[in-house]
Structure 1
Amino acid sequence: MKHLPLFFDLAGRRVVVVGEGAKAQGRADLARSAGAEVIRLAPAEARVEDFRGASAAFVVTGDLDGDTAAQRLAREAGVPVNVADRPALCDFILPAIVDRGEVVLAISTGGASPTLATILRGRIEAALPQQLGALARLAATFRSQVNALIVDPARRRAFFRRLVEGPAGRLAMQGDEAGARRAVLGDLDAARSHQAAEGIAHIVGAGPGDPDLLTLRAAQLLQEADAILHDDLVPPAVLARARRDAEFVSVGKRKGRPGWAQADIDAELVRRVSAGQTVVRLKAGDPFIFGRGGEEVDALRAAGLAYTIVPGITAALGCAASAGIPLTHRRIASAVTFVSGHSATGAKQPAWAALAAEGHTLAIYMGASEAASVRDRLLDAGSPPNLPVAIVENGTRPDQRVSSGRLSDMARLVASRSQRGDAGPSLIVVGDVAAYAATADQPQLAQVS
């Protein structure tokens, strides 16, 4: 982050604007709208004394020499200065602003592209209702009452979420302030009689790694969670989409490494939800495809606790698309099967003869350590040695790597990947469609977007 975004209270403070013309007038009007006392100066009139005691200065002369001279005067007086269209001379920048009364959004590119900031402002303005400020005023009106009545932070956040998203919020957005106030008072009366906090668990798919592939619902829940119990395979870029004050607990399980037992994860979920927390159990890919989400739902059901399930883009779909591999193809493959490279002790084994059928694509999860065994079983079941294979490592992420070869070489391909020492999670695709893989030596055929 190049600049730290701050909202500065200018009410009753002096702001100096050096320059003439429409752009200088715009800076002056903007400062006045924030309650500032604005001093206008022509470039030739500016002196150091004019800046002393000011909170900020805007320089808009349109001339490099004039801008530089005024900037030096402001700095000599110890006043932070913004020089229009000259980022190198600025102590602070002026962002593109979306103003909805109490709700103000600032968009900045750090001076790299004011045009881009303007375009983004237009899109955000089109998406945000004009009455958003009324909703913020409603929340502010009741903040002290809610804080005094509801001590538990989780319950308090839930109350304000209902205020914003529920009947009161809808009435405020429609301009019915009196109706909105009545709705909030009704919710406060309900809160006075409510003793126990009600928790909930959200079993959420984090997708294959690219944070832009999170579902809209997943992104919303990450902003609501009190605690996030996440896999090791969930990257920091996805966790960065969560609420900043949420509690993060890594409960990852990686083969060959110490980690949380599934029974311990189940117990932790039950404990936190029973205590009234909103918990997101964030699982790489989709929680119900080799994610053991079903076991966690069983534990929550047995405890009589509330839960929801939010599917995610599973690794097979995300990684294959990112590598340009169609898992099915009208002329090549009419079926696809998701297979685990290793199974729980005593679990039913895949029917390898059926999986080896022609026109069938296999997406193999967690298969790196069992690559030789999977290869041998497919060969024994009748798959041809020259059947195309692709290994997608860190699929959809910036450090994605794709290796391709033949079934007979699968174990060697996996071994060469593992010998690097920095190997990431990988998906193995077996079948004729794997020949479509875009490797480092080929142009990328497709991107997930």
Structure 2
Amino acid sequence: MGQLNTFPLSYKVQGQRIVIVGGGEEALNKVRLVTKTTAQVVIISRSVEPLFSGFPVEVHARAFAAADLDGAALVFVAEEGADAELAKVSARARGIPLNVVDVPSECDFYTPSIVERAPLTVAISTEGDAPVLARLVRARIEAMLAPNLGKIAGLAGRLRHLAESLIQDGPSRRRFYERLVTSPEIERAESRGEGLVAATKLLQQHAAGERRGVVWLIGAGPGSEDLLTLRAQRLLQEADVIVHDQLVPSVVVDMGRRDAERIDVGKAKGHHSFSQAQINTLIVRLAREGKRVARLKSGDPMVFGRAGEEISALRKAGLQYQIVPGISAALAAAADTATPVTLRKVSSGFIMATAHGADDGELNHWAQLAQSGLTLALYMGKSIASEVAGRLVAHGLSPLTPVGIVVNAGRSTMTTYSGNLSSLIEGHATLADGPAIIFVGEAVEAGDWADAAQLAGMSFKVA
């Protein structure tokens, strides 16, 4: 591991001035950064572009004078010329830390990429060598930290004395603070302006030895880890237990805390399958033990995820829960094929339904909806696709109605097939392994299906 040429620290500027010499784009970039502080920001330049009106800064459109550095904590030079040279000499003569924009060799300090959740600040610096890398790292950290985290950190400060009086044990007090800053319930309360009340209640519960569990019903999306929501990522990092379906890829499950318990409740060869009643009992028991439970479901938990039954069990047990939406497979399939499932003058709506177990009345209803211009997205129908297509035609839908099938939507193994109801009825296709979405409707023709295997005229299997 190499050694640092700089020492990272937080520099106090409260009640002082930050002077920026320059009036152009580079000066504006520094203004965006330093106006996040409580310092008085002063802009000095003979040529000031009208860029600073939206910021709390003091602008002087004139030549720089050495006296401009009176009371200054930091100096930025963001232009060239005689004024810039005088500013450099004056700053060095007074021992004021100096930053010359884009000239690392003349800088006493570098401006890092900052993740700001005041009073929490995370700074990322590459000592001026790779600012683009610093920005990329910043984006990843931004994704990890809840928007209200700074306000919750402020709550921790306001409760410090009360926490010390109620919880004498140091490790127990640390556990309380961990619960406070990772609690989605506190985050929601803070967004309603009720953060202090909720945090005080949590403190009292912790001091009394109460451990309140919670279940987060999280949509894992179609399978690619980069399609997981930011909220889902944060909660997976906070969960004590991850209860996941078999369809959720291990790469998504592994985004949870390393020490979190993992329980697979899905069907897999050689593995006992949990019934829905057993899953309900499991998550209730875990939450009653005071654990934070991530119930991880493929796609969106509210779309064919049987979340309603789990919510009912949690409500009956009087337990806290939260729904975290995910990208449903039908939406991922539409994105994979650029299929506009609603299209002006073609399709005015979009129906998601499960083909498995559908009775004749449902199929008749679907056929009428498709005839009226809606797009059908049928889940769990791969093995009976030919039969369903035949019954839709029998109920009046044209055999020439476009059909598109996406298997493993949102994943690197995604495969596509296209044709119409007639070609699907012929049943020549052997579809790839994996969950499938079957699109039916005129809007399907507007998607990108040029490279899709055709549903008629050949027998094939895409691995």
Q: TM-score, normalised by structure 1?
A: 0.61
1:160 offset after TM fit, Å? 4.8
Matched residues in 1 for 2:341 and 2:269: separation?
A: 27
Give the aligned partner of residue 179 of structure 2: 158
SS, match of residue 416 in structure 1: coil
Give per-residue Cα distances to partners, 1:144-192, cap 9 Å, x unaligned: 96653369x7x6742453699779x99xxxxxxxxx9xx9999756532
Residue in 2 aligned with 1:117?
Answer: 133
Preserved contact between residue 155 and residue 199 of structure 2 (Cα < 8 Å): no
* Aligned residues with identical type, % of pairs: 36
- The structural deviation recorded for 1:429 is 0.6
> Which of residues 358, 368, 387 is equivalent to 2:401?
387
CA displacement at 1:272 relative to structure 2: 0.4
Cα pair distance change 1:412/1:114, threshold 3 Å = farther
CA gap of 1:387–1:321, structure 2 versus 1, over 3 A, is same
Residue equivalent to 1:375 = 389
Q: Compared with structure 1, are the counterparts of its residues 262 and 412 closer, same or farther at alpha carbon in structure 2 (3 Å cutoff)?
A: farther
Kindly tell me: are residues 333 and 258 of structure 1, through their superposed partners in 2, closer, same or farther at Cα, counting changes over 3 Å? farther
Distance apart, 1:390 and its partner CA:
0.8
**Corresponding residue to 2:447 among 430, 437, 446:** 437
Would you say the 8 A contact 1:146–1:156 is kept in 2? Answer: no
* 1:123-142 equivalence runs, <5 A: none
Match of 1:149 in 2: 172
Query: Is the contact made by 1:234 and 1:284 (CA closer than 8 Å) also made in structure 2?
Result: yes
CA positional deviation for 1:210: 3.1
Question: Could you say if the C-alpha distance between residues 305 and 213 of structure 1 is closer, same or farther in structure 2, counting changes exceeding 3 Å?
Answer: same
- Residue of structure 2 equivalent to 1:277: 291
Q: How far did 1:136 drift?
A: 13
Q: Deviations over 1:256-276 (max 9, x none)?
A: 996221111111111101111
Which residue in the other structure is 2:15 paired with? none
Q: Which amino acid aligns with 1:276?
A: G
Distance 1:107 1:416 in 2: 54
Alignment of 1:40-119 (within 5 A): 114=130, 116-119=132-135
1:43 alignment counterpart: none
CA separation of 1:300/1:220 partners in 2, compared to 1, >3 Å: closer, same or farther? Answer: same
**What does residue range 411-426 of structure 1 map to in structure 2 within 5 Å?**
415-418=429-432, 423-426=433-436
1:191 aligned to 197, 206, 225, which one?
206
Unaligned runs of 5+ in 1: 1-5, 9-14, 16-26, 35-95, 171-179, 443-449
Query: RMSD across aligned C-alpha pairs, in angstroms?
Result: 4.7
Match of 2:412 among 383, 398, 413: 398
1:303, CA displacement in angstroms? Answer: 1.8
Q: Which runs of 5+ in 2 are unaligned?
A: 11-111, 453-463
- Indicate whether 1:355 and 2:366 are aligned: yes
Q: Counterparts of 2:115 and 2:216 in 1: how far apart (Å)?
A: 34
Q: From the superposition, tell whether residues 201 and 166 of structure 1 become closer, same or farther in structure 2 (CA, over 3 Å).
A: closer
Which residue identity does 2:367 align to in structure 1?
A
Deviation at 1:348, TM superposition (A): 6.2
Measure the CA separation in 2 of the matches of 1:146 and 1:229: 32
The one of 245, 259, 265 aligned to 2:259: 245
- Of the three residues 348, 354, 357, the one matched with 1:334 is 348
In structure 1, the residue corresponding to 2:311 is in which secondary structure?
helix
Q: Distance in 2 between matches of 1:308 and 1:378?
A: 38
Whether the 8 Å contact between 1:199 and 1:274 is mirrored in structure 2 is: yes
Deviations 1:36-84 (A, max 9, x none): xxxxxxxxxxxxxxxxxxxxxxxxxxxxxxxxxxxxxxxxxxxxxxxxx
CA contact (8 A) 1:368 1:414 kept: no
Structure 1 SS opposite 2:327: coil
Distance in 1, Cα, partners of 2:360 & 2:230: 36
Letter of the 1:221 partner, please give it. Answer: L
CA distance in 1, matches of 2:205, 2:271: 48
Question: Is the CA contact (8 Å cut-off) linking 2:386 and 2:427 kept in structure 1?
Answer: no
